[in-house]
Structure 1
Amino acid sequence: MKFGKNNAEVEVNMPTRGALFQAVRERFAQGRGFALATLNLDHLTKLPHEPAFASAYRAQDLVVADGRPIIWLSQIARQPLELMPGSDLVIPLTELAAEMAMPVALMGSSDAALAGAKAALEARVPSVNIVLAHAPPYGFDPTGAAAKEICEMLNASGARLCFIALGAPKQELFAAFARDKAPAVGFASIGAGLDFLSGHQVRAPKIMRALALEWLWRALQSPVRMVPRYAKCFAILPGLAAEAWRKR
């Protein structure tokens, strides 16, 4: 299903978890990299106003639906999608990488968060081979010299799967940039996924996630940052719902 208009249009081309993991398995087996993005409502507020972000999204090989509003919009359009938050994909992708002997790299916000995430992944998936954990410097340019150096590090490490936990749009910009520089690596943009694993951020309880209230939990945890973001998200929902209805 496609969301947005004109140059900001994005297609969720992996509608189910089964389709996603089959695609990743095939790319691992063929030695082909990929860029995986998890589309949410916040991304849809940014895409029309940030041409570089929109261009980076068009360069993603695999796009899944992340967030209840995306799922509801797909249901309105009668093109239902399966919910796949980036945070929920970390362990299954790690398990698949371990099963196929694909080395893993972690890229995130801080050395402490990455150390905690590494320990958590190794505890959950003992056979995983984490060959690199790197926190970019403050002010990191996802398409600059430091990004190129990281690509060289990834190539030298032998990593085949790299989790990027930098937040949007930085992680998607880096994935699009690195996709050509490290063609054998699969880049998965997973937001706060590594911070949740390490305990540096606390994810909403399961009951709140089941009730589609994770947004409220995050707003209460960080109101100054999250309330304006969610206000923009709610503002575009009516137009998106009308567009989805026209696609029925």
Structure 2
Amino acid sequence: MMESQAHESRDMTVDGIAINILSMPEAVSSIVSAAQTGDSFSVCTLNLDHVAQLQQRPDFRAAYRRARFVTADGFPIVALGRLAGAKIERTTGADLVEPLCEQAGSKNIPVYLLGSNRLTLHRTARRLASRFKGLQIVGYDAPGGNFDPYSDEADRAIDGIRKSGARLCFVALGAPRQEIFAARCLDRLPGVGLLCIGAALDFIAHTQNRAPLITQKIGLEWAWRMLRDPRRLGPRYARCMSIVPRLVASSIPQIVNARTRKVA
């Protein structure tokens, strides 16, 4: 009975997507364990923009449903989880790269980088390899700007990852392309874990600037980004904010159940 209650307290779904990784340490240990076992898996990091797109793209939702690990990326998602009784922490793709590379170096897990551009990839590979002893970056590739996850170019990218011998691949193609591509790879790349990480490689190469740490900690990274690029990001964040009331309403049963269990 105690085990069942403990399991229930971990359950958290947002708009039908289950978040099953609740913290950074849990994410790192789970991903490294799966890579060492030789599993094929994908990792997605759920945020409000993804939730909005999931309503419009059945292939995006299908990709999320195939992901082995899903974390909460964004403070609205974290807040919903905590209201529903989950001890959840924000865990972004950008924050996962370096601790995973540290573990990959010590545990002999080869890594591949996919996305962005060749300058960014070259800088990122060099910096990660110098920072983490033993890290093997066995290849990288920068697809074209109009990359289609279902295209011949995507097939060539899959072949490149396979031939490299990588067991972890960081996919930095932006949503929803990176998640859809990662889902395609699950059936074609045995023994490879694919992590969808957005702009993480650009942050490491310093070809893009990430928000200051203080804004990340207080949940205002989105505001910092929007102020720097209001024309592009303003409509996106307005769309994201518009879905919050619906998400809160749909989470009420989870919140009530969590409160009821706590009282009991």
How would you bin the TM-score normalised by the shorter chain? over 0.9
Shift of 1:123: 2.5
**What is the aligned partner in structure 2 of residue 242 from structure 1?**
249
Is residue 134 from structure 1 mapped to residue 138 from structure 2 by the alignment?
no
Task: Classify the secondary structure of the residue corresponding to 2:150.
Answer: coil
**What is the aligned partner in structure 2 of residue 86 from structure 1?**
93
Query: What's the CA shift string for 1:73-107, capped at 9, x where partnerless?
Result: 11122223121011000001111111110111001
Shift of 1:26: 2.2
**What is the aligned partner in structure 2 of residue 37 from structure 1?**
44
Distance 1:29 1:109 in 2: 27
Equivalent pair of 1:76/1:241 in contact (CA under 8 Å):
no
**What is the aligned partner in structure 1 of residue 20 from structure 2?**
13
Task: Classify the secondary structure of the residue corresponding to 1:138.
Answer: coil
Name which of 205, 213, 235 aligns with 1:206. Answer: 213
Q: Which amino acid aligns with 1:2?
A: T
Shift of 1:245: 2.7
In our comparison, the structure showing a higher alpha carbon Rg is: 2
Query: What's the CA shift string for 1:174-226, capped at 9, x where partnerless?
Result: 10011111121110000010010011110011111122110011101221211
Structure 1 stretches of at least 4 aligned residues deviating more than 6 Å after TM superposition: none
Equivalent pair of 1:147/1:178 in contact (CA under 8 Å):
no
Query: What's the CA shift string for 1:115-144, capped at 9, x where partnerless?
Result: 121122123213211111100023111122
Q: What's the TM-score, normalizing by structure 1?
A: 0.94
**What is the aligned partner in structure 2 of residue 62 from structure 1?**
69
Is residue 71 from structure 1 mapped to residue 78 from structure 2 by the alignment?
yes
Query: What's the CA shift string for 1:42-72, capped at 9, x where partnerless?
Result: 1001101111111111111111111111100
Distance 1:18 1:209 in 2: 18
**What is the aligned partner in structure 1 of residue 58 from structure 2?**
51
What runs of 5+ residues in structure 1 fail to find an aligned partner?
none
Equivalent pair of 2:32/2:100 in contact (CA under 8 Å):
no
Name which of 204, 209, 217 aligns with 1:197. Answer: 204
Q: Which amino acid aligns with 2:165?
A: G
Name which of 69, 93, 100 aligns with 2:107. Answer: 100
Distance 2:231 2:214 in 1: 24
Task: Classify the secondary structure of the residue corresponding to 1:115.
Answer: helix
Q: What's the TM-score, normalizing by structure 2?
A: 0.89
Shift of 1:159: 0.6
Q: Which amino acid aligns with 2:69?
A: L
**What is the aligned partner in structure 1 of residue 3 from structure 2?**
none
Distance 1:26 1:209 in 2: 28
Distance 2:230 2:134 in 1: 39
Distance 1:232 1:200 in 2: 27
Name which of 122, 126, 130 aligns with 1:119. Answer: 126
The root-mean-square deviation of aligned C-alpha atoms, in Å, is 1.2
Task: Classify the secondary structure of the residue corresponding to 1:231.
Answer: helix
Shift of 1:32: 1.2
Task: Classify the secondary structure of the residue corresponding to 2:44.
Answer: strand
Distance 2:24 2:214 in 1: 22
Q: Which deviates the most, 15-24 or 146-155?
A: 15-24
What runs of 5+ residues in structure 2 fail to find an aligned partner?
1-11, 256-264
Is residue 169 from structure 1 mapped to residue 180 from structure 2 by the alignment?
no
